Amino acid sequence: MWLKLVVFVAILAFLAPKIFVWYFSITIDKPKGDYDFIVVGAGASGSVVASRLSEVSTERVLLLEAGEEDLPNPLIHVPLFVTFLQHGKFDWEYKTEPLNNAGFALTNQVSYWPRGKVLGGSTSINYLVYARGTKSDFDSWDSLGAPGWSYQDVLPFFKKSENMLDPDLAKTAHHGTGGPLNVSLSYKHKILNWFIRAANEIGIASFDYNRPDGKGVSPIQSTSTNGKRTSAADAFLRPVARRKNFDIVCGAHVKRVVIETQSDGSKKAVGVEVVKNEESFIVKSKKEVILSGGAIGSPQILMLSGIGPKEHLKEMKIEVMKDSPGVGSNLQDHFVIPAGFHSFNTDMHDQVITPDVLSLSNIASYLFHGSGSLTTTGLDALGFAKVLSDDKHDWPNIHFYLHAIMWKPQIPDQTEVLMSLFNFKKEAVDDLIKEAHAINSDHTSDFTIMVGLAHPYSSGSIKLRSSNYLDHPIIDPSYLSDTRDVTTLVGGLRLIKKFEDAEISKAMGIKMYMVMNNCTSLHGTSTDAYYECVARSAGITEYHPCCTAKMGKDPMAVADARLRVHGISGLRVADASIMPHLTTANTQAPCYMIGEKAAHMIKQDWGLI
C-alpha cells in the first residue's frame, strides 16, 4: 500500500510540471520552414505586431523571443512582487558605463538597467503604469519628419489596443474599449487622498492624465485585470497563439538579420540568424523582418547585421551593409529622483504599503476579491507640471509619482533591496539612515514622491562592445550632461518640497527629507546647489530608454515614417527605438501604439487590408 502511494506521488511529481507546461504553453520548440513575416522580440511592440499580422490567415508569422515563456507565475502576475523580477532569469541585467555627470551615490557611478527577457518583454517586469503622453509629443514627432504620427493619427491606435475597465473613463472620447489590453484604475491607498488634495492646494489640478493636453495629477491607470498584471503576452499573444499561421519560439536569440545584395545592387533582408540551445540556424522571411527588440536590443541587432555608423562597424570588424550614423545614437531616458516623506502626526499603517503587507487578510483579499495592496506595484498617482523652462513646447517638463510604500531603512533586507535595484552605494544608504534617525525616532520613510525629467535635453548612445552577440552593448545615457536638465530638476524638487506647505500636509505633519552623499553638509538644505547635488547623486533610471533608431528624414534617421529601415528593403523597426524623442509620460503605452500602427502600415503596404 505504502509503496503504491510513493510510486503514485513520484509519477505525479514527474508528470505535473509537464502537464502544466503542456496546458499553458503557447510556444513551439523550433520554427517550421519559411515565414512571410518574422518579428524579433515579444515585448510591448513586437507582441502587437505579430498578433495583428497573424490576423491575416494567408500570412505565416513567426515571433522570436530570446527570453523564456512567461508561464503563470506569481512573481510576474502579482503586481506587488515586481521588484523580485529584476536580477533574475527574466531580466537582461544591463548596466551603463560609469556616468560622468550623475550617479554620485551609485556604486562606481553605474546605473542598473533592467529590461524584460521573457515573453511579454519589459511589460512582464514593469510597474504597470499606463500613460500615453501629450498631444504635443506626437505632433512634434510628426513635425520632425515623421508624417502620419501626429496625435490625431496615433489616437485611433491607442484606442484600438485599449480596453478601459473604469466605467467613467471608458465613456470619454480618448479612451478605448474592446481592445485586448485591459487598463484599470489601480487600488488606492489612503495616502492618495492626501497626495491629490495637497497637489490641488499647491495649484496642480486633478485630471485624467491620458487626456490629450496637460498638466495635473491623477490616480494611476494600470495594465492589470482584477489585480493581476496584464503583460503584452497576456493581452496580445495568449488569446491568439493557437492560430495555425502563427508560431512563437522562445529562447531564440537573434544574432543578426540576413541581408542579401540584389542583382541591381540594392540590399534586402531575407531572414534572421538565430541561436537556440547553442545551435545556430537561419530562418527565411518571404516578405519582411520586423525588429522589435527594444531600445537596446534593436540597435544592437542592426549593428551586428552591418547597419550602423560605418567607422564603428569597421572598428568591430563587421561588414558594412548600410552606413547609418543614427543607429545607437539619440539614446534618451527619463531620469528620476526619489524624495522621502514622513508623517509625524498620522499613523501610516493603514495609509500605505507597510513591511507586514503579506498578512493573511491581505492575501485573502487578493485571492478572493482581486483587491488590496498586492494588486499594486506601490505607484498610486502620477502628476505632470512645467517648471522654470524656456522650452517652446506646450508639454510638461516634469512628472512625479506617489510611491505608497513605507520604507524602513533599519530593516536590513530593504537596504539590500535599494542597493541591488538601483546599485546605490552602501555608504549612500547608510547616510540616509543616519539622517532619518536624526529626523525622527521611528526612523522610517513613510512614502516617496519621485520627480523625473519628462523631456531631457541630454542624450547618449549605445555602441557594440564587440561583434559577439552575447556581449552587452556599451550603454552611455549621458544623464545631466546638458545643464538645462539640472535646472529643470532643481525646479521639480522645489515643487515637490511645496507639498509640505499645503494645509493638509501641515495637519498630517508631513515633511520631506532627502539626504544623499553629504549634500546637506556641503550645501545646506534649501539652496539650488543642494538640490543639484541631490539630483546628481540620487538620480536613477526611470526604465524608459528609447529613440536609438529614430524614424525621420534627417541624416541621423534610421527608418522612414513607415518604419522601413533606410537603404535595406524587407526590414522595419517597430519598438521604443523608433521614437524621435521621448514622450512626456511612461513608454509602454506608446510602444503598444507603435505596434498597432506598424502592423496596420505593414498590412497596407502588402495589400492585406
Ligand X SMILES: Cc1cc2nc3c(=O)[nH]c(=O)nc-3n(C[C@H](O)[C@H](O)[C@H](O)COP(=O)(O)OP(=O)(O)OC[C@H]3O[C@@H](n4cnc5c(N)ncnc54)[C@H](O)[C@@H]3O)c2cc1C
Q: Which residues bind ligand X (CB under 6 A)?
A: 40-46, 64-67, 114-117, 121-123, 125-129, 253-254, 292-295, 297, 301, 543-544, 575-576, 586-589, 591
The binding site comprises: 118, 126-129, 254
Contact criterion met (CB below 8 Å) for 477 and 541: yes
The residue with cell 513520484 is 10
Please report how close the Cβ of residue 500 comes to ligand X at its closest, in angstroms.
27
Query: Residue 445: beta bridge partners?
Result: 407
Residue 399, strand partner residues:
384, 452
- Burial of residue 400 (CB within 10 Å: 0-12, 13-18, 19+) is buried
CB of 599 to ligand X, least distance (A): 13
Nearest residue to ligand X, scored by beta-carbon proximity: 43
Nearest distance from residue 327's CB to ligand X, in Å?
15
Tell me which amino acid residue 419 is. Answer: M
- Toward ligand X, which CB reaches closer, 454 or 490? 454
In the numeric block, which cell numbers belong to residue 151? Answer: 496625435
Minimum Å distance from CB 576 to ligand X?
3
Question: Angle 588-605/151-161 helices, nearest 10 degrees?
Answer: 100
Residue 182 phi/psi, 5-degree rounding, is: -70, 135
Nearer to ligand X, 102 or 576 (CB): 576
Report in angstroms how near the CB of residue 201 gets to ligand X at its nearest: 27
CB-nearer residue toward ligand X: 342 or 544: 544
Q: Where are the alpha helices (DSSP H) in 273-387?
A: 294-304, 310-315, 360-369
- The minimum distance between CB 528 and ligand X, in angstroms, equals 30
The H or E element containing residue 448 is strand 447-453
Nine cell digits for residue 404 = 505608497
φ, ψ at 258 (rounded to 5°): -85, 125
Closer by beta carbon to ligand X, 374 or else 502: 374
Q: Which residues of 72-86 are buried (b: 16+ CB within 10 A; e: fewer)?
A: eeebbbbbbebbebb
The distance of closest approach from Cβ of residue 550 to ligand X in the complex, given in angstroms and rounded to an integer, is 13
Q: 134 vs 153, 215, 393, CA distance in Å? A: 13, 9, 11
Q: Are 478 and 379 in contact (CB under 8 A)?
A: no
- Min. distance of Cβ 275 from ligand X in angstroms? 9
Q: 361: left (phi > 0), else alpha (psi -120 to 50), else beta?
A: alpha
Examine the residue annotation and report whether 581 is marked as an active-site residue of this protein.
no
User: Residues annotated in the binding site for FAD, as ranges?
Assistant: 118, 126-129, 254
Residue 140 vs residues 13, 61, 143, 558: alpha-carbon distances, Å:
57, 33, 5, 18
Q: What is the largest CA-CA distance in the chain?
A: 82
For ligand X, give the closer residue by CB, 294 or 552: 294
Which of 342, 349, 544, 566 is labelled catalytic? Answer: 544
Q: Residue 127 or 531: which CB sits closer to ligand X? A: 127
DSSP letter assigned to residue 126: S
Q: CB-based burial of residue 503 (10 Å sphere; 0-12 exposed, 13-18 middle, 19+ buried)?
A: exposed
| Eight-state DSSP code of residue 480 | T
Instruction: Please tell me what DSSP assigns to residue 166.
Output: S
Grid coordinates given for 466: 564587440
Dist CA 574 CA 255 (whole Å): 18
Measured CA to CA, the distance from residue 546 to residue 456 in angstroms comes to 12
199 vs 249, which CB is nearer to ligand X? 249
Q: What are phi and psi of 139, to 5 degrees?
A: -60, -35
Q: Which residues contact 258 (CB under 8 A, 6 or more apart)?
A: 269, 270, 271, 272, 273, 282, 284, 305
Burial class (CB within 10 angstroms; exposed 0-12, middle 13-18, buried 19+) of 306? buried
Dihedral, CA atoms, 469, 472, 474, 477, nearest 10 degrees? 130
Closer of 292 and 423 to ligand X (Cβ): 292
Shortest Å, Cβ 385 to ligand X: 19
Signed CA dihedral, 201, 203, 209, 211: sign only: positive
Active site residues: 544
